[in-house]
Amino acid sequence: PRLSVRGFDIHKGCLDAAAQSDILEALRPVLRRAPLTTPETRRGQKLSVRMSAAGELGWTSDRRGYRYEPRHPRGTPWPAIPDPVLRVWTRVTELEHRPDSCLINYYGADARMGLHQDRDEADLSWPVVSISLGDDALFRIGNTTRGGKTESIWLHSGDVVVMGGEARLAYHGIDRIRFGSSRLLPKGGRINLTLRVAG
């Protein structure tokens, strides 16, 4: 089932159990070569979400600020975006053009992501695709400017969200996850993949 909330196209249950485990399996070697790290803000605050990336560019943040980088903080290039992940992009966007960045966000029991806009990409007309794996997450959708009413929806493992058009510049965040609500990840928690054309 596909629903639209403020221009966000939400494909509920887009990925069945087999497709979810395929993606998880493909992420193992990626995370071995590019382990999750805890990004810091310019002010030295640690983010509660742990991150890594695949593709030509990965989003990173440290004391120098946040930006897209062609390398993991260890200095090695990011691994390629796995095929099963690229196939989701093609399926839901129907675009020939491929994403050059796959951000990997890991949410443990107490992780959250405050309301923010994504505008570090060079061309904001490309959509962003989000793939949820593991525990349920409470996703909050705001407006294209700060403030105003927000709407919240629960994202479940296998849900895919496409942000294009007006939704591309909407404020959004993750209030909390329901730790232990899914058995997909052996240690619990949630992985969110966001596919973008960043460069």
Q: What residues are designated binding site for 2-oxoglutarate?
A: 105-107, 190-196
Q: Of 19 and 153, which has the nearer Cβ to Fe ion?
A: 153
Residue type at 67 in one-letter notation: R
Order across the sheet with 113-116: list the strands: 113-116, 172-178, 136-141, 151-155
Does 130 bind ligand MD3 (CB under 6 A)? Our answer is yes
Partner from ligand MD3, Fe ion, none binding residue 105, C-beta < 5-8 Å depending on class: ligand MD3
Q: Which residue is nearest to ligand MD3 (CB)?
A: 192
Does 157 bind ligand MD3 (CB under 6 A)? Our answer is no
Nearest CA to 8 among 115, 160, 176, 178?
A: 160
Write down the least CB distance from residue 13 to ligand MD3, Å: 17
Does 11 bind ligand MD3 (CB under 6 A)? Our answer is no
Question: CA torsion angle for 78, 189, 49, 39 (degrees, to 10)?
Answer: -40
Contacting ligand MD3 (CB under 6 A), which of 15, 27, 161, 177? 161
Site for ligand MD3 in 97-116 (CB under 6 A): 103, 105, 113
Q: Of 118 and 135, which has the nearer Cβ to Fe ion?
A: 118
Encode 123-134: b = buried (16+ Cβ within 10 Å), e = exposed: eeebbbbbbbbb
Question: CA torsion angle for 162, 166, 172, 177 (degrees, to 10)?
Answer: -30
> Rule CB under 5 A: which residues touch Fe ion?
118
| Ranges of H-type helices in 59-193 | 83-93
Largest interatomic CA distance in the chain: 42
Residue type at 144 in one-letter notation: T
Which positions make up the binding site for substrate? 59, 66-68, 120, 146
Q: Of 93 and 105, which has the nearer Cβ to ligand MD3?
A: 105
Write down the least CB distance from residue 183 to Fe ion, Å: 26
Residues found near ligand MD3 in the complex (CB under 6 A): 103, 105, 113, 118, 128, 130, 137, 161, 163, 167-168, 170, 172, 174, 192, 194
